[in-house]
Amino acid sequence: MPDTLERVVGPKPTLNRLYLERLLLNPQMKTRLLQIGGAGATREAITKAQAEELLIPVPPVSAQDEFATRLSTVQKMKNSHKQSLCEIDTLFASLQHRAFAGEL
């Protein structure tokens, strides 16, 4: 559970950038932001004043930093797996080509 709730707008030493980014991309937070902004005829948006009033959960900075570190680790693993998958696809395509060309 977060220690405090804080307003979002403006740089804060108590907010890790990656934590804030992922929090704002969370489906529940997106829904909340859309409710605050209202569904207009042409766009959905919140004003600066509404953003300044938005309260978000703020866990201790150490927990936010650990979250950011783990997120970065997971992202690196995902990138590594994507690269491996591309290499496997390339090798499989080469193997298929050789098999159908009668080279095996």
Q: What is the mean pLDDT of each run of 10 residues along the chain (104 residues)?
A: 65 85 91 75 72 86 96 97 97 94 86
- Residue 60: HSE in the Cβ half-sphere, 13 Å Cα cutoff: 3
103: helix, strand or coil = coil
At 61 the pLDDT is 93
At 39 the pLDDT is 57
At 73 the pLDDT is 97
Q: Which residues pair with 4 in a beta bridge?
A: 58
Q: Terminus-to-terminus CA distance in the chain, angstroms? A: 60
At 80 the pLDDT is 97
pTM for the whole structure:
0.67
Q: Where are the alpha helices (DSSP H) in the chain?
A: 17-25, 27-37, 48-53, 61-100
Rg for the chain (alpha carbons), in Å?
A: 22
d(CA 43, CA 86): 39
At 2 the pLDDT is 61
